[in-house]
């Protein structure tokens, strides 16, 4: 009987191999031959799934985004409902911008590499701006919800606060990647940022939201205390 091949699994294996190659050689030094060797496949088999290097790279990049979204959905579904805006924001920022294990460090390095490439690729830049705008909008809406619930002072501008949180988390992610900051310290700094923003706490909602943040810290960051 012929062997049944799961093509989705094969593509995922190629994507993971590409992340590791990018971590060692950078995006410009990544070749289909190196990715094939890392994946333990022939170059012909890799080309069977991806006809060009660009196609392979874009698939690997899209899988990073999809993996992060799948992890967040799983963690949200495991939390007690309703999930507070603060808990939701913390989960998103910790997952997307604070790499806490080897796989996510590799993923984050690929994302940064694509960000640099976008400076010369208008099509890629547009796609990344769209993704970033969607993320900023979601966080802004969570902050507006928290404001309506009386958890954030009325004078704060949700759009400005969302921009500050994203800039802070991106900076933490880069410092963690470069080895300038321990991931656990980055998470503590994120909690301090949220403590300052969520300075007004309703009598019933405050303790519930804080409990979610602290109680689920271990689930957000794998082995490094996220």
Question: Rounded CA gap, 79 and 212, in Å?
Answer: 8
Residue 181 in domain: yes
Residue 8 in domain: no
Q: Helices (DSSP H) in the chain: which residue ranges?
A: 7-25, 32-39, 43-49, 53-78, 85-97, 102-117, 122-148, 158-177, 183-197, 205-215, 217-220
Residue 15 in domain: no
HEC profile of 177-210: HCCCCCHHHHHHHHHHHHHHHCCCCCCCHHHHHH
The pLDDT assigned to 178 comes to 87
Residue 49 in domain: no
Residue 190 in domain: yes
The pLDDT assigned to 214 comes to 37
Residue 197 in domain: yes
Question: Rounded CA gap, 47 and 184, in Å?
Answer: 40
The pLDDT assigned to 201 comes to 56
Query: For each of the chain's 226 residues, which pLDDT tens digit applies?
Result: 455 568 889 999 999 999 899 888 888 899 999 999 999 999 999 999 999 999 998 899 889 888 888 888 888 888 888 889 999 999 999 887 787 788 788 788 888 888 888 888 898 899 889 989 999 999 999 999 999 999 999 999 999 999 999 999 999 989 988 889 998 899 999 999 999 999 865 443 333 333 334 333 333 333 333 3
The pLDDT assigned to 209 comes to 35
**Cβ–Cβ under 8 Å, residues 84 and 74:** no
Task: Name the domain count of the chain.
Answer: 1
What domain range is 73 assigned to?
64-224
Residue 28 in domain: no
Question: Rounded CA gap, 80 and 74, in Å?
Answer: 12
Residue 12 in domain: no
The pLDDT assigned to 164 comes to 96
- Check which CATH number belongs to the domain holding 175 and give it: 1.10.357.10
């Amino acid at each position: 009987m012929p062997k049944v091949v799961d093509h989705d699994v094969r593509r995922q294996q190629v994507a993971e191999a590409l992340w590791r190659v990018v971590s060692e050689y950078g995006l410009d030094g990544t070749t289909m031959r190196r990715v094939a060797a890392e994946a333990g496949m022939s170059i012909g088999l890799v080309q069977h799934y991806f006809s060009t290097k660009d196609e392979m790279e874009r698939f690997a990049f899209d899988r990073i985004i999809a993996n992060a979204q799948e992890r967040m959905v799983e963690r949200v579904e495991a939390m007690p409902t309703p999930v507070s805006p603060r808990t939701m924001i913390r989960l998103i920022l910790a997952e997307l911008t604070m790499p806490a294990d080897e796989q996510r460090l590799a993923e984050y390095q690929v994302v940064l590499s694509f960000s640099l490439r976008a400076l010369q690729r208008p099509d890629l830049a547009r796609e990344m701006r769209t993704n970033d705008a969607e993320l900023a909008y979601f966080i802004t809406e969570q902050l507006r919800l928290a404001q309506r619930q009386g958890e954030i002072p009325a004078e704060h501008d949700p759009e400005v606060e969302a921009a500050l949180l994203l800039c802070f988390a991106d900076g933490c992610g880069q410092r963690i990647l470069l080895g300038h900051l321990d991931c656990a310290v980055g998470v503590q700094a994120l909690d301090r940022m949220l403590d300052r923003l969520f300075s007004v706490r309703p009598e019933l909602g405050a303790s519930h939201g804080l409990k979610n943040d602290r109680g689920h810290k271990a689930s957000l960051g794998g082995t490094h205390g996220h």
